[in-house]
């Protein structure tokens, strides 16, 4: 995947660049807000994900984001900032960022967020969560190389969970996804989750409960 | 804000206004006095003139006859170029003789003898003072009534009035001048301590918070004491801030010293395993230091009363969910079960969502660092509250107040910064919420809750 890293701290930029390259991504790094703005203004900038620092020389990260979102509303943006306050996150998310990571962060967490964002905006043909694969064009699931046939509601449920793999997903949201707007209680979703668990049993993919909130799909 | 008028001008207006009124009254009074005195003096002349004329009236050839004595009119011609008129009328009001047909006086006689009446009249565009004497010729054969009318223009009277008034005017002027000067001096001297206080404040070193020491009258001494109380409070706040900055600097320097020492040590070694260990230790130290810096910033901002955002209607359920999303990865990696308990109906309070999220994330962080295995975020409706409950070691009851102080740490394992609960306390205060530290219902672990004031209906 092609990643665009806008970060002015040399040590951090190099380290993140190296780490993401080790993950198999192609990384373009820029340390100036104005240059980043120009680069992103080119038609078809070709990046799959943008990692954006907010405190930049030249031009603020929020301005870069605002301008990008006028032309391009799909490329996922992950905001990194040294300002500890959650205030900035709100501003960033309002401007159309997809996720937020406050410095200091651990590399593991950054990589997990990058994976999650790329999964949520699939550019390619398939989604992977460990041995579970979703062919996004044919809407067919494969588990450990075997086709996994699911009834429509479970299919929609698993699709949603895979797109957010590694993150807790609200029960209300899953319910909406599975029943496509039909009004059902939160408890109805438990039946479908129970069935999905049965189908995933024995594989290296687990569907865990997040107490009081919902569920999370992860590879073990 | 419109500035009220200065004390000086206020005092001047309220003291000068009555003085001016009083002065004007005195002037009017003086004018009428002078005029009355002048009239009285000149009326005597009129009286003498009418008498002199009346004495010359005779009965000749069956009619009244007057042989005008020159002295009678001359006494009325003072040096002021007045014009003098006289006329003699008989009892039936017929003009007998004279140099002008002067009008009569309608007033009734008051006494049985001679009647003398004075009044001001307007006659042929002149203002005249007229004296009318009604009397009669009396001898054995006849009683004939007649009237002598004498009038003069007012020049002489005006001149006398003016000269009388002039004397009074000088007297009143001097009095007024003395009063105004005294007044200005009095106001200035009364306000002088205020000027001294202002100068004392203005010349102070802006960095000093020492109390104001200057002798002042009672009314201003109260103001000085109030200012000194404020300064004392500011001294306490500054002492706190200085202690906080000192602590913060110490807290930041210590891990940095550790990092540099660890790196130096590793550079002296050749063993890759030693390098690996050093890097691991440095990573954990730098992460803690960075977190400390973030917390210091939050605490500084919370303590800045001028940067307090407005409280808006906030959904506690959403706050709790966001906090859970954010803390979930870290807890999950550490094998901690992080969960949520919410009521069926939404709970809203007046608040700032990001601050409440920060409070929750600090509480979750604390629980995680002090060894909890199961952490639950709780939202409840009556009273509206947010809580974080864990199954860690808890805090003994006698230390629960201490832990709210910045840099206080429950244990000395070097993990926490000692700022987490101080931040939560600051956030609780900015929401007027009560921060409650208690044992969990099961008697194990700690439950920290923010209880908000009242529900929004």
Domain locations along chain B: 7-162, 218-302, 308-451
Instruction: Give the model confidence (pLDDT) of A127-170 as tens digits.
Output: 888 888 888 778 888 888 888 888 888 888 898 888 888 888 98
**What ipTM describes this predicted complex?**
0.72
Instruction: Kindly report, as residue ranges, where domains of CATH 1.10.10.10 are found in chain A.
Output: 126-219
Closest CA to A85 of B354, B395, B19: B354
Chain B CB contacts of A83 under 8 Å are: 297
B422 min Cα distance to partner chain A (Å):
16
Mutate to test the interface with B, among A213, A214, A218 (most CBs of B within 10 A): A213
Instruction: Kindly report, as residue ranges, where domains of CATH 3.40.50.2300 are found in chain A.
Output: 2-120
- Thinking of the domain A2-120, which architecture would CATH place it in? 3-Layer(aba) Sandwich (3.40)
Predicted TM-score of the model (pTM): 0.59
Mean pLDDT rounded to a whole number for chain B: 85
DSSP characters over B303-347: T-GGGPPPPEEEEHHHHHHHHHHHHHHHHHHTT-EEEEE--SS--
C-alpha count within 13 angstroms, C-beta hemisphere, residue A49? 26
| Residues within 8 A of B (CB atoms), A 159-188 only | 167-168, 170
The reply to whether residue A212 touches residue B333, judged by beta carbons under 8 angstroms, is no
Chain B CB contacts of A103 under 8 Å are: 290
The answer to whether domain A126-219 has CATH 1.10.10.10 is: yes
Three-state DSSP class for A15? Answer: helix
**Percent of chain B scoring above 70 in pLDDT:** 94
Chain A CB contacts of B357 under 8 Å are: 86
B295 min Cα distance to partner chain A (Å):
8
Instruction: Tell me the C-alpha to C-alpha distance, in Å, between residue B197 and each of B11, B216, B408.
Output: 19, 8, 43
Range A107-113 average pLDDT: 85
Which tokens sit at B186? Answer: 């009095």
The reply to whether residue A212 touches residue B340, judged by beta carbons under 8 angstroms, is yes
Q: What number does CATH give the domain B7-162?
A: 3.30.450
Chain A CB contacts of B342 under 8 Å are: 212
Which tokens sit at B53? Answer: 């004329």
The whole-number pLDDT of residue B307 equals 63
Chain B CB contacts of A109 under 8 Å are: 329-330
Chain B CB contacts of A102 under 8 Å are: 294
Contact (Cβ atoms closer than 8 angstroms) between residue B292 and residue B362 = no
CB contacts < 8 A (A, B): 60
Instruction: Give the model confidence (pLDDT) of B124-181 as tens digits.
Output: 888 888 888 888 887 777 778 888 899 888 888 888 889 889 888 888 889 889 988 9
The whole-number pLDDT of residue B111 equals 63
The whole-number pLDDT of residue B457 equals 44
B308-451 CATH, one of 3.30.565.10, 3.40.50.300, 1.10.1740.10, 1.10.3720.10:
3.30.565.10
Cβ-based burial of A168 (10 A; exposed 0-12, middle 13-18, buried ≥19): buried
Instruction: Give the model confidence (pLDDT) of B370-390 as tens digits.
Output: 888 999 999 998 889 999 999
Cα distance between residue A64 and residue B196, in whole Å: 57
The whole-number pLDDT of residue B411 equals 58
Three-state DSSP class for B168? Answer: helix
A144 min Cα distance to partner chain B (Å):
25
Range B253-267 average pLDDT: 85
Instruction: Give the model confidence (pLDDT) of B92-122 as tens digits.
Output: 888 888 888 888 877 776 666 678 888 888 8
Instruction: Give the model confidence (pLDDT) of B197-243 as tens digits.
Output: 888 888 888 888 888 888 888 888 898 999 999 999 989 888 888 88
The whole-number pLDDT of residue B306 equals 63
Q: Could you tell me the fold of the domain covering B218-302?
A: Helix Hairpins (1.10.287)
Helices B7-55 and B155-202, interaxial angle, to 10°?
170
Nearest to B340 among A86, A102, A211 (CB): A211
The whole-number pLDDT of residue A83 equals 56
Contact (Cβ atoms closer than 8 angstroms) between residue B148 and residue B49 = no
pLDDT at B394 over 50: yes
Closest CA to B369 of B390, B387, B342: B390
The reply to whether residue A210 touches residue B340, judged by beta carbons under 8 angstroms, is yes
A67 min Cα distance to partner chain B (Å):
25
Name the DSSP class of B256.
H
The whole-number pLDDT of residue B240 equals 80
| Residues within 8 A of B (CB atoms), A 58-87 only | 83-87
For residue A172, what is the nearest residue in chain B, using CA coordinates? B321
The mean-pLDDT minimum among A85-94, B251-260, B372-381, B429-438 falls in: A85-94
The whole-number pLDDT of residue B416 equals 63
Chain B CB contacts of A167 under 8 Å are: 325, 328
| Residues whose CB is less than 8 angstroms from the CB of residue B62 and which lie 6 or more positions away in sequence, other chains included | none
A101 min Cα distance to partner chain B (Å):
9
Cα distance between residue A212 and residue B341, in whole Å: 5
């Amino acid at each position: 995947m092609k990643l665009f890293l806008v970060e002015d701290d040399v040590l951090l930029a190099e380290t993140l660049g190296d780490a993401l390259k080790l993950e198999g991504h192609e990384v373009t790094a820029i340390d100036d807000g104005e240059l980043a703005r120009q680069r992103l203004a080119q038609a078809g900038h070709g990046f799959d994900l943008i990692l954006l620092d907010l405190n930049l020389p030249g031009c603020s990260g929020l301005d870069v984001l605002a301008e990008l979102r006028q032309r391009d509303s799909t490329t996922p943006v992950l905001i990194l900032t040294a300002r500890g306050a959650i205030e900035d996150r709100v501003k960033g998310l309002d401007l159309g960022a997809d996720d937020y990571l406050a410095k200091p962060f651990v590399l593991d967490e950054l990589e997990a967020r990058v994976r999650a964002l790329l999964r949520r905006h699939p550019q390619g043909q398939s989604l992977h969560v460990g041995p579970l694969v979703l062919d996004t064009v044919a809407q067919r699931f494969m588990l450990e190389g075997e086709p996994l046939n699911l009834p429509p509601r479970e299919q929609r449920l698993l699709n949603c969970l895979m797109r957010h793999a590694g993150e807790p997903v609200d029960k209300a949201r899953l319910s909406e996804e599975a029943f496509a707007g039909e009004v059902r209680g939160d408890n109805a979703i438990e039946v479908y989750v129970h069935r999905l668990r049965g189908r995933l049993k024995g594989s290296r993919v687990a569907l865990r409960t997040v107490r009081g909130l919902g569920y999370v799909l992860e590879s073990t | 804000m419109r500035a009220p008028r200065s004390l000086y001008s206020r005092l001047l207006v309220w003291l000068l206004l009555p003085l001016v009124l009083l002065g004007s009254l005195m002037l009017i009074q003086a004018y009428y006095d002078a005029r009355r005195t002048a009239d009285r003096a000149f009326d005597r002349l009129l009286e003498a003139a009418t008498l002199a004329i009346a004495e010359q009236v005779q009965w000749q050839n069956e009619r009244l006859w007057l042989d005008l004595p020159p002295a009678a009119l001359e006494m009325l011609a003072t040096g002021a170029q007045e014009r003098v008129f006289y006329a003699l009328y008989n009892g039936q009001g017929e003009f007998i003789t004279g140099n002008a047909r002067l009008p009569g006086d309608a007033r009734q006689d008051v006494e049985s003898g001679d009647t003398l009446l004075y009044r001001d009249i307007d006659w042929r565009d002149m203002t005249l003072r007229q004296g009318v004497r009604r009397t009669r010729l009396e001898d054995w054969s006849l009683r004939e009534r007649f009237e002598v009318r004498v009038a003069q223009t007012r020049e002489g009277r005006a001149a006398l009035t003016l000269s009388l008034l002039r004397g009074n005017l000088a007297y009143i002027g001097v009095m007024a001048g003395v009063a105004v000067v005294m007044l200005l001096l009095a106001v200035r001297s009364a306000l002088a301590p205020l000027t001294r206080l202002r100068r004392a404040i203005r010349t102070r070193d802006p960095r000093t918070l020492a109390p104001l020491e200057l002798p002042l009258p009672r009314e201003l001494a109260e103001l000085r004491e109030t200012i000194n109380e404020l300064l004392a409070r500011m001294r306490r706040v500054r002492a706190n801030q200085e202690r906080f900055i000192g602590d913060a600097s110490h807290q930041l320097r210590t891990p940095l010293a550790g990092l540099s020492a660890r790196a130096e040590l590793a550079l002296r070694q050749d063993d890759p395993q030693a390098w690996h260990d050093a890097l691991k230790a440095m990573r954990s130290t730098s992460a803690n230091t960075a977190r400390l810096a973030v917390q210091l910033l939050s605490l500084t901002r919370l303590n800045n009363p001028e940067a307090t955002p407005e409280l808006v209607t906030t959904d506690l359920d959403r706050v709790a969910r966001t906090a859970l999303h954010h803390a979930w990865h870290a807890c999950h990696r550490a094998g901690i079960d992080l969960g949520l308990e919410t009521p069926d109906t939404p709970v809203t309070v007046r608040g700032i969502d990001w601050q409440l999220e920060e409070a929750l994330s600090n509480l979750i962080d604390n629980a995680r660092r002090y060894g909890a295995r199961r952490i639950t975020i709780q939202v409840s409706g009556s009273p509206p509250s947010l809580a974080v409950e864990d199954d860690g070691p808890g805090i003994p009851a006698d230390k629960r107040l201490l832990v709210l102080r910045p840099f206080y740490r429950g244990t000395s394992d070097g993990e926490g910064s000692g700022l987490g609960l101080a931040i939560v306390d600051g956030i609780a205060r900015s929401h007027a919420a009560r921060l409650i530290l208690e044992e969990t219902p099961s008697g194990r672990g700690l439950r920290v809750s923010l209880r908000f004031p009242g529900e929004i209906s």
